[in-house]
Amino acid sequence: MSKEMTETAPIQLKRPMRADARRNYDNLVATAREVYASEGTSAPLEEIAKRADVGIGTLYRHFPTRQALLEAVYAEEIGRMAEKARELADCDPWEALSTWLREYVGFAATKKTLTEALLEADPDSDVLLVCRTALLSAGNELIARAQEAGVVRADTTFTDVGRLISSVAVVPTIDDAQRERLIDLALDGLRYTG
């Protein structure tokens, strides 16, 4: 595992909290993620608070604006992807990359609406910049390991691969089997065929 990979800290937006405040924060972020997935990013904040079983005041104490809640959900999702890359760092380079990219497909499908909402509100958001950097770092690390092992083409970066895999994530498919075939085709295109 590279020094860069081991020193990357999880994305954090706030200072440490009391245990009860942390539970409420985590519960609100998890609930918001579910609500955004089912109802979109314009879902009422009151609905999120209700489903999280907290008062609207508690939601606003943690997230004074809709943007703050969107950023927290987005940062948590990016943090999960970066953490998954770190967990795979000791695996076979091809297996690590392909496992992570398969997970990235699910991530990219749900992140699209969050990204659009965040870009619309503030295209120069520091949170977007930090998250983009963390995701690129994690993806490039996995690509570089696979390239060093001679199992991935040398002429690509995670920017290329991320766009390809994101396309698979958002294109309408007949069923899950077709999506899996598309992922397999994309992965086959990455393999080194010297």
Round the average pLDDT of the chain to a whole number and report it.
87
pLDDT band per the 50, 70, 90 thresholds, residue 91: very high
Burial of 101 per CB tally in 10 Å (0-12, 13-18, 19+): buried
Asked if residue 184 has pLDDT above 90, the reply is yes
Predicted local distance difference test score (pLDDT) of residue 111: 79
Asked if residue 61 has pLDDT above 90, the reply is yes
Q: Are 96 and 139 a contacting pair, CB within 8 Å?
A: no
User: Architecture of domain 14-64 in CATH?
Assistant: Orthogonal Bundle (1.10)
- If one counts every other C-beta atom within 10 angstroms of the C-beta of residue 192, the result is 14
Does the model's pTM come out above 0.85? Answer: no
Mean pLDDT of the region 24-29: 95
Q: Are 142 and 2 a contacting pair, CB within 8 Å?
A: no
Residue ranges of the domains in the chain? 14-64, 66-194
CATH code, residues 66-194: 1.10.357.10
Asked whether the domain spanning 66-194 has the same topology as the one spanning 14-64, the reply is: no
**Which residue(s) pair with 152 in the sheet?**
191
pLDDT band per the 50, 70, 90 thresholds, residue 102: very high
The percent of residues in the chain predicted with pLDDT above 70, rounded, is: 92
